[in-house]
Amino acid sequence: MTGIPTDKDASRVAAGAGLVTLARTVGGILNLLLIVVLTRLLSKGDFATVIAIYLVHELITAVGPLGLPSALSFFVPKLGRQAGRSLATTTSILLFAMGLPIALGLVFGGPAIADGIGQPQLGIGLAIVSVAVLADMPGQTLPSYLIAKEAYIGAFWVTLLFYLTRFASFVVPAYLGYSPAVIIGCFAAVAVLRFLWLVLYLVFFEKGAVRRQESDQWSIGDLYTYGLPMAASLVVGKLNIQLDKYMIFVLLTPAAFAVFTVGAIEIPLVTSIAYSVTTALIPTLVKAHQAGDIQRFIGYWHGSMTKVASIMMPIWAFCMVFAEPIMKVIFSASYAEAAIPFRVYLCLLPLRLCGYGAVVRAIGHTKPVLWAASLGLLVN
């Protein structure tokens, strides 16, 4: 049926997007709570070390996969579930193979890099986090695949468990008084457990052919053609978000880096609500585009943006007014100066009512995402 989405279709998609959004909202809250807890459990020096290593992990696991997990949201709904298992399995194997040289580089080159930037305390942590990188790169396949085949309940639980286990892997050893190296080691161990769950799911729980069949209408080259512009845009996007933090870490003291890091963040609503809603909608938008139903396509996209704005904008205004008290209450009075970068980052929130790249991703064009991200970096 064409035109405006039916009540049944709209309710199903809205419920699914709502579940994914809920999991990511909880994740965003846990990410914020993680920083709050670590600032109170660790000294500023140890906090700076842990967060710096974590930022390296985040950058690598965002850029390293070269956009392959994102490709699942396009190819699975386009080709049907009969190709789903082979797509997910191939993607996981490719990501593991791509992560291996990166992990080896961190093991053998991490200490040298740390000494080169004058931060030798990072050396052991960079070597340890290589295990988390090797596990989390293919581990991204599972939630992306579940969303791609519109298994929203499964995606909800996988995403929620990811955030909960990551939170616990940092907080528990920090609470017990362990060193940054042990904290990063626990983080890596939990990442391995998440990777093993992906393997178990694809081997024992998912149906369909494991390997690509001759009749399948996709190739590994297709995955990279779709994913590479996404990966390049992620590189630029991560630089937009993290470059200032790396500069502060290298140029100023660990204490200054700690204060800047807690303030220079976008509140969790951005990734947990706006981006997760549009990410969850991509399979539905792909189907609408394939059917040539432009009105239905635009109806879903604009409707989601309006609902997100009704939540985000009042919170934006409150945070802008009360930024300094918020920093003092959440992170303690010693982090009061973090209100300055916090207000600057808040200015970006009105631009984040949706993930605009979802539109071009849904029609199979990812290069505009790269151009937009590059323009953003140039402006910054």
Cα–Cα distance for residue pair 235/242, rounded to 1 Å: 10
Tell me, what's the pLDDT at 13?
A: 67
DSSP label at residue 120: G
- Assign residue 29 a region (left: φ > 0; alpha: ψ between -120 and 50; beta: otherwise): alpha
C-alpha angle 172-337-175 in degrees, rounded to nearest 5: 10
pLDDT in tens, 178-210: 999 999 999 999 999 999 999 999 988 888 777
Tell me, what's the pLDDT at 335?
A: 85
pLDDT in tens, 266-291: 776 666 666 667 777 778 888 888 88
* Furthest-apart CA atoms within the chain: distance in Å: 63
Other Cβ atoms within 10 Å of 295 Cβ, number: 12
Which residue blocks in the chain are alpha helix, DSSP H? 7-41, 44-63, 68-79, 84-116, 123-139, 141-148, 152-175, 180-200, 220-251, 254-263, 269, 276-290, 294-321, 323-331, 339-346, 357-362, 367-379
More confident residue, 287 or 137: 137
Tell me, what's the pLDDT at 3?
A: 47
Tell me, what's the pLDDT at 245?
A: 79
Q: Give me 81's structure tokens.
A: 């579930």
More confident residue, 254 or 58: 58
Q: Give me 228's structure tokens.
A: 């590479």
Other Cβ atoms within 10 Å of 380 Cβ, number: 11
pLDDT in tens, 94-123: 999 999 999 999 999 888 888 887 788 888
Sign of CA dihedral 343, 56, 185, 269: positive
pLDDT in tens, 70-81: 888 888 888 777
Sign of CA dihedral 361, 91, 23, 347: negative
Tell me, what's the pLDDT at 344?
A: 87
Per-residue burial over 117-144, b if 16 or more Cβ lie within 10 Å, else e, is: eebebbbbbbbbbbbbbbbbbbbbbbbb
Could you tell me which of 88, 86, 92 has the C-alpha nearest to residue 65? 92
**Looking at the predicted structure, is the pLDDT value of residue 5 above 60?**
no
